[in-house]
Amino acid sequence: MGGFSLRQALLLALIAFVPAIGEAFYFRNQIPWNSPVPASELVKVETAKEWGAQALWIDARPDDQFARGHYANALSLNEDHWDTQLTNVLTAWSEEKKIVVYCSTQSCSTSRQIAERLRKQANLKNVFVLEGGWEALQASEKK
Amino acid sequence: MKPMTKFLILALSLCLMDRAHAQLKFEQTEIELKPTLTDENAVAHFKYKNTGSKPIHINSVNTSCGCTVATLKSNDVPVGESGEITATLTIANRTGMQHKTITVSTDDTAQPQTILTLKANIPTLLDIQPIFVFWKQDEEMKPKTIIVKANADAPVKKINVVSSDPEIETKVEPGSGPKEWKIDVTAKDMKKLHSATLSISPDYPTKTPKVFFATARVIAPLGN
């Protein structure tokens, strides 16, 4: 009886394994492409707020969302108007500044892309991605 | 029928049951586009067909980014009918590999959501490195260099650079390779703070000229 149950369990596992392999192959390109941001490049809302005037806030969301509301003194910088908006950011930048980039939510990727371009193309240091994005910022304001 | 045979049939049926209900079938759930240097949009067509036995209603089509718009002609898909979702990515100032997702929600309980992926590798006409140079007022004025490389597929023969601040000057020289230039940037006056936008214009494309930007600044020393 024990041997029969074990055989059944193994067969069940085998049967489940075959379509699982097939599905994994078929959907192989749907593995999330966004690699996690290194912890050293992330900043929590509380920490970024503690930086006070030292922080240069960058809103990476589209223009219409920025117009509806943004963090105090944040500058808009998105890939729709990168060329023109970047000048404002670089004019506001100084060496002691810590740049905090945010987009809509925890899962959005725009802030990562903007932060990466600032590091690679403008050679800026101290560029951070805000954990939780605009959603987390708004939640912290309500506390 | 032996218990073992019954068991195998049951297990196999359970495995296949979920797949049998999937009705809205997409030809491709991922499309990779290669826009050209002059394209303004990247457009992907996700074709689908209702292969099931009942009509499907597409409740919503949401994109992961405001830069991508997804449209479809009809939300209702009768049995056997085909259709397509057109996803348009606005290129604007985007460069490099872009990944945008489109979430399709239907009333099919067996497969309520399908994630479509639009990939687009957007070429850069000019690669400018770095796009920002600066001097601190208390440092010795040495020219800063910006390297400009044109895309190998673009017939760019020369670039023109204009500084918005007369106290910050630029000089363009040939670079170390073909389609490469060196911009030497100098600040004539280090006593005052300066900020210049450098407009970099290639001689291609001629019909819709493109201008690229870099920034040069004279900034205050740390602590001031």
Over range A75-103, report the average pLDDT. 95
Residues of B whose CB is below 8 A from A90: 132, 195, 215, 217
Do B156 and B181 have their domain in common?
A: yes
Q: What class has domain A37-142?
A: alpha beta
Do B134 and B112 have their domain in common?
A: no
b/e sequence A81-114, b meaning 16+ C-beta within 10 Å: ebbebbbebbeebeeebbbbbbbbeeebbbbbbb
Is A121 close to B129, i.e. CB distance below 8 A? Answer: yes
Do B142 and B204 have their domain in common?
A: yes
Residue A29 has a pLDDT of 43
Query: pTM for the complete prediction?
Result: 0.75
Is A30 close to B29, i.e. CB distance below 8 A? Answer: yes
- Per-residue pLDDT of A17-42, as tens digits, reads 777 776 655 544 443 444 567 878 99
Do B98 and B176 have their domain in common?
A: no
* Count: domains in chain B: 2
Q: Does residue B100 contact residue B67 with C-beta atoms inside 8 Å? A: yes
B10 alpha carbon, distance to own chain's centre: 48
Do B112 and B136 have their domain in common?
A: no
Is A80 close to B128, i.e. CB distance below 8 A? Answer: no
The residue range of the domain holding B60 is 23-122
For residue B48, count CB atoms less than 10 angstroms from its CB and return exposed for 0-12, middle for 13-18, buried for 19 or more: buried
Look up residue B165 and give its two tokens: 């601040």
The residue out of B122, B148, B179 marking a domain boundary is B122
Q: What is the pLDDT along chain B (224 residues), one digit of tens a residue?
A: 677 677 667 666 655 554 545 489 999 999 999 999 989 999 999 999 999 999 999 999 999 888 899 999 899 999 999 999 999 999 988 988 998 999 999 999 988 999 999 999 999 999 999 999 999 999 999 999 999 999 999 999 999 999 999 999 999 999 999 999 999 999 999 999 999 999 999 999 988 888 999 999 999 998 76
Domain-located, residue B11: no
The residue out of B122, B157, B183 marking a domain boundary is B122
Q: What is the predicted ipTM?
A: 0.74
Residues of A whose CB is below 8 A from B99: 33-34, 109
The residue of A59, A80, A97, A108 whose CB has the most chain B CBs within 10 angstroms, and thus the best one to mutate to test that interface, is A80
Do B166 and B95 have their domain in common?
A: no
